[in-house]
A and B are shown apart, each in its own frame.
Chain A
Amino acid sequence: MTRTAQWLYAWLLLLPAMALLVLFTHYPAVATFWQSFMSTPKGSRASVFVGADNYEQLVTDEVFWQSLSNNFWYALGTIPTSIVIAILMAIWVNERIAGRGLLRLAYFTPTILPMIAVANIWLFFYTPEYGLLEQVLGAFGAGSHNWLGSKSTALGALMVVTVWKEAGFFMIFYLAALQSMSPHLAEAAAIEGASRWYFFRRVTFPLLMPTTLFVLVNAVINAFRLVDHIFVMTRGGPDNATALLLYYIYDVGFRFWDTAYAAALTVALLTILGLLALAQFLFLERRVHYQ
């Protein structure tokens, strides 16, 4: 094969993947960036260049700041919890216990269910007066709560759903990592007389770090990406207490039809996600111990 032919061959192999990437990832990203500097076309009024107008609006938009801070608490509340629970569950189902297969399945079930279905189920768990949660708490004599209808508990209630949904998924990755771990390590530690906690802290957890990094990146993206349950459970209410950034972008883009401002919000979201991913790879990667 001549050099040109080889070159052509390589590009042809790349072409399908590249075409898809350009069409569905790169072009929309660039178009979004460009549109965030334009005005929203409406009826006969065409779109014109408005400079940083949309970004000025963004800085003074209270709902934007609130959804950003909601998203921050949401990420902080869901990511560490679901990772800890995932590790615990993985260690638990990694041991030789009766009904291990069933237990694994049970932990994984929330992942298989579609989020909309999950949200509808949880909506009735949270129903005041006769919901499942109320009945359980009522049996212990606790008063009635309006979990989704009060500003102080609504976001927390959504976090619980997310953790419930995500922990099982992350468990699978930890389980795979645990299975590939050599049993010699545990034997050696047992001979040395290390306690279980010491063994976990000094051996298992460091060896799980590559998985943790992977899970962490996914969890952070999900914290910004997963908003399906909000549509069903609270629609961002009460008074924006559960509005997350992506949900707000949907509102602005497809309910208010202010596409230009939605583009500016999307650029803000992309910037945040990009910075977070960068930070994770730059700082955490150094601490990750690859075998």
Chain B
Amino acid sequence: MFRRPIRNCFAALASAALLIAPSLSAAQTEVSFYYPVAVGGPITKIIDSLATEFAKENPKIKVTPIYSGSYQDSLTKALTAMKSGEPPVTSILSATDMYTLIDEGAIVPFDELIKTPEDRAWLNSFYPGFMENSQTSGKTWGIPFQRSLTVMFWNKEMFKEAGLDPNRPPSTWRELVEYAQKLTKRDASGRVTQWGIQIPSSGFPYWLFQGLVIQNGAQLMNSAGTQTFFDKQEVVAALQFWLDLVNKHKVHPEGIVEWGTTPKDFFERKVAMIWTTTGNLTNVKNNAKFDFGVAMLPAGKQRGSATGGGNFYIFAKSTPAQREAAFKFIRWVTSPERAAQWGIDTGYVAVRADAWDTPVMKKYVEAFPGAAVARDQLKFAKAELSTHDNQRVTKALNDGLQAALTGTKSAEQALKDAQVQSERILRTYRR
């Protein structure tokens, strides 16, 4: 008896909503937007608030953010959605998946959307280090957004205990070995209680390995994404250096070091120095109960680190109005102030130089100088490994690295095998 009027009320509301909806959508351009989360922190909330803020300034565009898991999941979801006919209009996906997306015919270049000199100035404002993974064959396919680098964190207390200057991280490979030896502690029975250094090797060992390769003066692939150089002498030597840390100097744990637990190992004081992403900056800041430092990776022949993280892409299966709207959103969200705020909130590296000149960023860096290390390292950074059929080529290298680290293959053999596999995969793209 009482329920009926209420139900009628709902029915009336629902039909009213149905009546209003079409008239609204006719005036509004809808932009669906997939985004992954790869680091800790309340990132979904930040993205939602960005979308609402954008909607306030641009009532004609409705950006719908859809959280889509890890980078891997997001690519799978976006491509599956595309194959079933309804891809997102725009998405943040790994910068390394550019060739895969081009080969699938999934995305459009940004060049046709960039018309005014103002647009061009905006495009040129990004750090060139980040654009390497965003451009190929003269076109721009991705816009850097949540980008990162590998850096080193060190425990200052342990440095002090070992008689090292707590404010001076190792700056060369030789120093790295020297410091790590002093920082590795063993108990009476010879068991290691504290490791000198730890470079994670589960999941995507190629990314951290690439830092070593660049430091040794080489690169893993050409810029067209059609050729890899896994078996080059400098690359083999870089892997040998990593193996030596484990087997010869015995300052690095044996076997595969888990990526996910490496920050925890650091908090638990099991290791004095770790290599990980700048995306962990906020995580370490909140959880390390000791004084720590953030440093550039040490230099071999030169400094070096591989960039990482995600770019904005615009999908091909969209209307011109949707592309324009997505482009407007991307320009809005990568403005200096927002890029700066995003970097502060997440630990990602703000993607353009002028973001670092904003008052908020200046204040942040003053209070936490570690945040600027990634920016300073950017001039030594190179593109992350990315080729056609990227996942397959990368897996060949990952398998090789893990085989070497677990002691089943020598550095030379492992990389030679990986190169043979990569040659077989990439041959068809070199016509």
* Shortest Cβ distance from A42 into B: residue: B103
When distances are taken between beta carbons in the complex, the residues of chain B under 8 Å from A129 are 253, 265, 268, 270
- Of all chain B residues, the one with the shortest Cβ separation from A152 is B406
By a CB distance below 8 angstroms, the chain A residues around B408 are: 151, 239
Docked pose: A2 CA to B192 CA in angstroms = 85
Contact B76 A150 (CB under 8 A): no
A149 contacts B257, CB within 8 Å? Answer: yes
Write the chain A residue with the least CB distance to B101: A43
Check A143 against B191 for contact (C-beta < 8 Å).
yes
User: Dominant SS at the A interface?
Assistant: loop
Contacts of A128 in B (CB 8 A): 253
The residues of B that contact A158 with a CB separation of less than 8 Å are none
Residues in A with CB closer than 8 Å to B400 are 239
Q: A144 to chain B: which residues have CB within 8 Å?
A: 191-192, 253
In the bound complex, residues from chain A placing their C-beta under 8 Å from that of B104 are: 42-43, 257
Interface bits A99-137 vs B (CB < 8 Å: 1, else 0): 000000000000000000000000110011110000000
Q: Which of chain A's residues have a CB closer than 8 A to the CB of B103? A: 42-43
Bound form: Cα–Cα A239–B253 in Å: 17
Question: Which residue of the partner chain A has the closest CB to B403?
Answer: A239
The reply to whether A238 and B405 contact each other, CB–CB distance below 8 Å, is yes
- Chain A proximity mask over B261-274: 1 for CB below 8 Å, otherwise 0: 10011001010000
Chain B CB within 8 A of A146 CB: yes
- The reply to whether the CB of A249 lies closer than 8 angstroms to some CB of chain B is no
Does B255 sit within 8 A of A, measured CB to CB?
yes
Contacts of B257 in A (CB 8 A): 146, 149
Residues of A within 8 Å of B287, CB to CB, are: none
Q: Which B residues lie within 8 Å of A146 (CB)?
A: 253-257
Chain B residue numbers with a CB within 8 Å of A124 are 261
Chain A residues closer than 8 Å to B402, beta-carbon distance: 237-239
Q: Which of B201, B256, B389 is the most central at the interface, judged by chain A CB atoms within 10 Å of its CB?
A: B256
Docked-complex contact A251 and B258, CB < 8 angstroms: no
Residue from B76, B258, B265, B389 within 8 A of A254 (CB atoms): B76
Is B133 located at the chain interface by the 8 A CB criterion?
Answer: no
B264: chain A residues at CB < 8 Å are: 127
Q: Is residue A234 within 8 Å, beta carbon to beta carbon, of the partner chain?
A: yes
Q: How far is the CB of B103 from chain A (nearest CB, A)?
A: 5
Which one of B146-154, B336-344, B391-399 is at the A interface? B391-399
Docked complex Cα distance between A40 and B270 (Å):
47
B72 CB-CB contact with A under 8 Å: yes
CB distance from B240 to the nearest CB of A (A): 18
Judge whether B260 is part of the interface by a CB distance below 8 angstroms: yes
Q: Are B253 and A235 in contact (CB-based, < 8 A)?
A: no
Residue among B102, B189, B260, B400 with max Cβ neighbours from chain A (10 Å): B260
- Considering the complex, give the chain A residue whose CB is closest to the CB of B75: A255
Contact of B202 with A by CB under 8 A: yes
Chain B residues with CB under 8 A of A4: none
Closest Cβ–Cβ distance, residue B264 to chain A (whole Å): 8
Chain A contacts for B283, CB-based, 8 A: none
- Quote the shortest CB–CB distance from A273 to chain B (angstroms): 25
Contact of A150 among B100, B105, B254 (CB under 8 A): B254
In the complex the two chains form, is A256's CB within 8 Å of B389's CB? yes
**Interface residue B39 (Cβ < 8 Å from any Cβ of A):** no
Residue-wise interface mask of A (66-78) relative to B, using a CB-CB cutoff of 8 A (1 in contact, 0 not): 0000000000000
Question: Taking the nearest CB of chain B, how far is it from the CB of A156, in angstroms?
Answer: 14
Known: A146-B253, A149-B255. A251 touches B202 (CB 8 A): no
Residues of chain B in range 64-101 having any CB-CB distance to chain A below 8 Å? 72, 76, 79-80, 100
Instruction: Report A239-267 residues with CB < 8 Å from chain B CB.
Output: 239-241, 251, 254-258
In this assembly, does A79 line the interface, its C-beta being within 8 Å of a C-beta of chain B? no
Is A16 close to B, CB under 8 A?
no
**Closest chain B CB from A220 CB (angstroms):** 28
A148 to B392, CA, bound (A): 23
B166 at interface by CB-CB < 8 Å: no
Instruction: Decide: A237 near B256, CB < 8 A? Known: A256-B389, A256-B392.
Output: yes
B203 part of interface (Cβ distance < 8 Å) = yes
B191 adjacent to A256 (CB under 8 Å) = no
In the A-B complex, list the 10 residue pairs whose CB atoms are closest, starting with the nearest: A149-B256, A149-B255, A43-B105, A146-B255, A238-B402, A239-B402, A239-B403, A150-B255, A238-B256, A255-B391
| A–B complex contacts, Cβ < 8 Å, 28 sampled | A43-B103, A43-B104, A44-B105, A63-B399, A123-B260, A124-B261, A127-B264, A129-B253, A129-B265, A130-B270, A148-B256, A150-B256, A234-B202, A237-B202, A237-B203, A237-B399, A238-B201, A238-B256, A238-B402, A238-B403, A239-B399, A239-B403, A240-B399, A241-B406, A251-B395, A255-B395, A256-B392, A257-B391
Binding site for A on B (CB under 8 A): 72, 76, 79-80, 100, 102-105, 189, 191-192, 201-203, 253-258, 260-261, 264-265, 268, 270, 389, 391-392, 395, 398-400, 402-403, 405-406, 408
* Further pairs besides A130-B268, A237-B202, A238-B201: 14, Cβ < 8 Å: A143-B191, A144-B192, A146-B254, A149-B253, A149-B258, A150-B256, A150-B406, A151-B408, A238-B403, A239-B403, A239-B406, A255-B72, A256-B395, A257-B104
